[in-house]
Chain A
Amino acid sequence: MSNGSAALQDIKTLKNVKTLRKDAWWVEPLLTFAVLFSFVVYATFRAFEDNYYYVAPYLSPFYSPCLVDTCAHVSWRIFGKMWLITPAMLILWIPGGFRMTCYYYRKAYYRSWWLSPPACAVRDGHTTYTGETRFPLLIQNIHRYFFYFATVILLFLWWDAFEAIHFPDGYGVGVGTLVLTLNATLLSLYSLSCHSCRHLCGGHLDSFSKNPGQYGVWKTLTKLNERHMLFAWVSLIWVALSDLYVRLLATGMIHDIRIF
């Protein structure tokens, strides 16, 4: 794909050259594709599985909040018995939509899934391009609404982390408690470093000196925002591992270790 010096000799016009890059530019989009694809496959499987998501006192983040009567652990009884739809499907569209419309993930999947462009100075994989100016990509503009909804979900995940010290035989801390607490922490860092959050909490202002409180918040969020990509990846991987941990406990493949 890269043009070695032999190929360079044959180029007569630069317009149609796919790229002159010689480095392994395709590694990054390939890795991104592989990780995102694995996550989507695993999350879809778990959303349909409708089982092994609760082992007292741990509730998997994929099924939290669990809003259905028939849940293994009901967070909030809102719906009666459901047909076809699992409790995970009722809520997963929120974190899913939050990540789909996230400014960072947009970069990640536009490059690795849509090849638009696959890497910098490598030709776009499409002949025409309208970006985010039309439906359906115009929808990306509602990212802040997903941020609001995701914040509500996050509160439930913190509640789950808190509940995870409440064992049938009294209070304690197990490895699962740490797993769920770290999960809520990483997801909070991901949410707080969100570009929409940074804008809504102060970025929209033109004069910071007239709003010192918001300026302080904006400065802190800016520091987090610089690491948004890191939080995006770490929190994505950890939420899947947290679910996997609960699943392994629930299927009896491993046993939780009580720290105290």
Chain B
Amino acid sequence: MNLAVCFKRVPDTTAKIRIASGGKAIDPQGVEFAISPYDAIALEVALRLKEKSGAGEVVGVSMDPEGNDVAIRKALAIGVDRAVLVKGGATFDSHATAQVLAAVLKPRSFDVIFFGKQAIDDDAFQVPTMVAQLLGLPRVNVCTSVEIEGGRAKCRRQIEGGEESVELALPCVISVQKGVNGIHDNRFPTMKGIMAAKSKPVETVAAPAFEPTLELVSLELPPERPPGRIVGQGAAAVPELVRLLKEEAKVL
């Protein structure tokens, strides 16, 4: 089973974000980077499917404007067999990213191309669908379970008030939700895995150029949350609290 997993390098969820001068990018100074958590789950899904089938390989694919290989090395350390680092592209342009990834994926043959359902930096949810469209492959998004059997992918996903089961012919594109196949995180890399990662093949390719499809105007930090207010103590505070919830917050 040949599986590709596309993943994005994003600031670690615990990183303190600052906007770089110019207002159009995140200041990388002092920020630790990680694999976007849903993509990390996709990696784990693929690794387990491969382990279960006992054959094939898992190939990591990551587009990175700076060509930074931190995420790639992490993926190799947890067990990805080899990786393609696509240097170039633009961080927040989903369509341009999809075009780059589709161009890189097209000449390689995979049974399934996995993604996380969204990257946690731009929350766009768009790239998997666009890649599938550009490659002319069937796709299903936000899956909560994935099985590969007899040349078909059997997936389940949550829908309003219920669950949907779908089947796709391979090759296909699948994006995954947290909890898919009971997976909430990728495995810890092992010490051996970390040491072995150095010697695994990483192919670096330049991102083909595409016309940007949107212009990033500016990035801004969310406004600071106003500090909490103490309206009183004990039971005596309840009437005032109820009044504020009703009249000010309008939640009652």
A binds B: no
Residues of B within 8 A of A (CB): none
